[in-house]
Structure 1
């Protein structure tokens, strides 16, 4: 086969693994829920300051459920999926002499998207971190499977160690956080687009430690996702094994988080490891449970609606930033700081349902989401076909 033919072709819709798209679509709901409640609704830095308890019992209940069951777990799922996706691309380009340059270009384009998103749309962006972590992970994919597994465990071990022994001076002072929160409530709620844009840039130094906090975890989960792909567990999933993993990880992860949250585990250095470890275990458990369910006949009927959303996750993620920016910031409806947790989540779910319907409608007509199409076109350096072929359209 000549280099430049099939190896440079993006994966077709018919070749995709629906269960992975389903998992990505459901993970996007978790990411949306946390983003709309903790970053668009109010300043994320309020979480790191003493807070007055929420007045509404419904808000307290919703907030508790999100923090214990969803916060950081959905993002961890996305990290696992990104690592698996990178491994899939690496494998598909195995016969191409340009494999490395194409994958580096893929990550460079993602970095460009991330920086635009970060600076011009929303500074809660995760794409920039994913692109940088992907560049670190890529060399490990040239090694054997055991190396990928060892590197994953090493990165996650270092991440957990950093939770117990955080570097001194890396976190902003309480005064800086209070000032940032006060400015956010003034500018995000009432400022015009240029005011919000200028403050978004000024706020970046406060966000930087948050990325430092999870960067090693992101690398470790990327590698773990790549390892899962190489084991074949995502291609031909052994359902009993997946559901066993799901039960064990969800049970142990939930126990660690609940015990830590209720003070049953000491708050010292060992105790500080329990919640981040529980988060990783819960994410693995959620992923195994959803992949297993999506491979059952009844599961396909139950969860199939999420597959189109997952196939367009990049487009939908950016759309969420644009939509929520208009809803919560002063250049739109200006609802920043004015809604409770439950109300903000209800808006988020309504947007998500709209994206489910839009994604299904779009993919009946086109091969890729618009941003996915642009990403592939820039990666391969060749304009990709957008419309379905006659064979695909007839299905």
Structure 2
């Protein structure tokens, strides 16, 4: 039976059927989505100026130990997983669409990406989440399409190039601080010799003193931030406007772009190698777990001690190091730990253990977009002044009670929602806008005359 080009195009211009989803990817995405909240919650609930002191000033207390666990096991690793899966999704989307003649893959792909950029702007400037990743992912996605057919080794090479850029950038910042410190020490030595300082030397002294001052909590600024964030929406919006503008411009191009696209390239390579789709045998995932954790855990513990020493006395820390331990090892730590997490998740998934949990995580992953924005809405309601106004009221470790509550809500709510709807609400809107056609939303019972034969997701 012949099928016209127009019919083929119309048939292909729709989301992937739920039966065709790769469930293991949804499970990993669900873990990453829930895990990201652990890193985001401090910036929803506390002034940034006091975070350092809460994490490090009292070694052994609940805040210190909580941060140690988060930093070693999850910080950066969940975002790495999320970025990897975004890269995998690029190949997954484009290869499925390329199976049908007459479909413009680039058209569909760039529609999706441009809508994501817009959603990111809304998340940052309307919903007021300064840590939004949708905008950054959208901008990175604009560059990924030409790389979709590369072999894994070339994708890994592209990731390595970005890795190198980040190491260079991180160490340049380190050497900038180290240079200010060395210039300051020379000025102090001259002062001890009772020598008159030049204007340049006075500026050198002031530059380092500014670095030290900025590294200490400013109670006046902290109190002002708490007051503003506990205020009404207009005041909170005005407070976050310059922060969002800086993050989505200077910070985006200096750090977030490289940070995200590096892991997206790696995710594209790992997808092609079958790591996310269960093509490896059990011993392959066991090797990922053992090697990933074997490198990532001790390295993470060591860097946490180094970071604590840096917080305690930044000057002495600079004096005793010739390179930046945190920045230089950052991507090694997060890649190894992220792959260790993948190994563990896939072993559990392939073994059929904890099916109630992997099923719930799969649903969370299918609704990742909706759940991500839902986290913004819940947290801003709990902490900001136009909601419950709890900003600055909880200490660091207490924020994770909120995290646990949101996890439980999304692990229970996501499977329930997907019993009645094909998509999460934002997934439905995104797909409808992408295909410029209203997608089916509510699941029709099989015995209905209007039942559809393919369940789409």
- The TM-score, its normalising length taken from structure 2, stands at 0.78
TM superposition shift of 1:392: 6.9
Question: What is the aligned partner in structure 2 of residue 81 from structure 1?
Answer: 85
Q: Which runs of 5+ in 2 are unaligned?
A: 178-209, 310-316, 447-452
Query: Residue 414 of structure 2: SS of its match in structure 1?
Result: helix
Per the alignment, residue 202 of structure 1 pairs with: 242
Q: What displacement does 1:148 show?
A: 2.1
- 1:187 is aligned to 2:246: no
Does residue 1:10 correspond to 2:65, yes or no? Answer: no
2:322, 2:59 → 1: CA distance? 31
Aligned length: 390
Shift of 1:168: 8.4
1:47 deviates by 4.5
Are 1:253 and 1:278, in contact at CA under 8 Å, matched by a contact in 2?
A: yes
**Helix, strand or coil at the partner of 1:25:** helix
**Residue 56 of structure 1, CA deviation:** 8.9
Give, in angstroms, the shift of residue 355 of structure 1.
Answer: 1.4
Alignment partner for residue 133 of structure 2, among 122, 126, 150? Answer: 126
Alignment CA distance shift 1:270-1:42 (3 Å): closer
Which of the two has higher C-alpha Rg? 2
Give the match for residue 46 of structure 2.
42
Shift of 1:287: 2.0
Counterpart of 1:90?
A: 94
Does residue 271 of the first structure (1) align with residue 325 of the second (2)?
yes
Residue 53 in structure 1 maps to residue 57 in structure 2 = yes
Write the distance in 1 (CA, Å) between the matches of 2:258 and 2:413.
Answer: 35
TM-score by length of 1: 0.89
| 1:140 paired to 2:154 | no
Which among 14, 21, 25 is matched to residue 20 of structure 1?
25
Distance (Å, rounded) in 1 between the aligned partners of 2:299 and 2:412: 37
Q: 2:121 aligns with which of 111, 115, 119?
A: 115
1:164 positional shift = 2.2
SS at match of 1:11: coil
Report the Cα distance in structure 2 between the residues aligned to 1:346 and 1:218, rounded to whole angstroms: 28
Contact 1:294 1:304 in 2 (8 A): no
1:255 aligned to 282, 298, 301, which one?
298
Q: Is the 8 A contact 2:152 2:270 kept in 1?
A: no
Question: Offset at 1:297?
Answer: 1.8
Residues 180 and 203 in structure 1, CA contact (< 8 A), matched pair in contact too: no
Q: Give runs of aligned pairs for residues 55-70 of structure 1, distance below 5 A.
A: 57-70=61-74
1:247-274 deviation line (CA, Å, top 9, x unaligned): 1012101121212223499743262412
Deviation of residue 361 (structure 1)? Answer: 0.9
What do residues 129-184 of structure 1 show as CA deviations (whole Å, max 9, x unaligned)?
Answer: 000011112221144443323212222222233222339889xx757785865542
Gaps of 5+ in 1: none
Contact residue 54 and residue 63 of structure 2 kept, 8 A: no
Distance 1:84 1:299, change over 3 A: farther
SS in structure 1 opposite 2:33? helix
2:352 to 297, 306, 310: 297
Is the Cα contact below 8 Å between 2:278 and 2:350 reproduced in 1?
no
CA distances 1:172-210 after superposition (whole Å, capped 9, x unpaired) = x7577858655422211x211111011110222553555
CA pair 28-293 structure 1, distance change in 2 beyond 3 A: same
Partner of 1:325: 380
Is the 8 Å Cα contact of residues 114 and 128 (structure 1) preserved in structure 2?
A: yes
CA separation of 1:199 and 1:4: change in aligned 2, threshold 3 A: same
Choose 150-159 or 160-169, whichever is displaced more: 160-169
Q: Alpha-carbon deviation of 1:52?
A: 6.8
Name the CA shift for 1:165/1:50 in 2 (closer, same or farther; >3 Å).
Answer: farther
Superposed CA RMSD in Å reads 2.9
CA pair 9-357 structure 1, distance change in 2 beyond 3 A = same
**Separation in structure 2 between the aligned mates of residue 287 and residue 160 of structure 1, nearest angstrom:** 25
1:384 and 2:439 correspond: yes
In 2, the alpha carbon distance for the partners of 1:168 and 1:113 equals: 37
* In structure 1, C-alpha distance between the alignment counterparts of 2:19 and 2:283, rounded to whole Å: 26
Match of 2:260 among 211, 218, 224: 218
Match of 2:163 in 1: 156
Instruction: State whether structure 2 residue 399 is matched by structure 1 residue 360.
Output: no
In the TM superposition, residue 220 of structure 1 has moved relative to its aligned partner by 1.1
Contact map agreement 2:233 2:385 (CA 8 A) in 1: yes
Q: What is the distance in 1 between the residues matched to 2:321 and 2:227?
A: 35
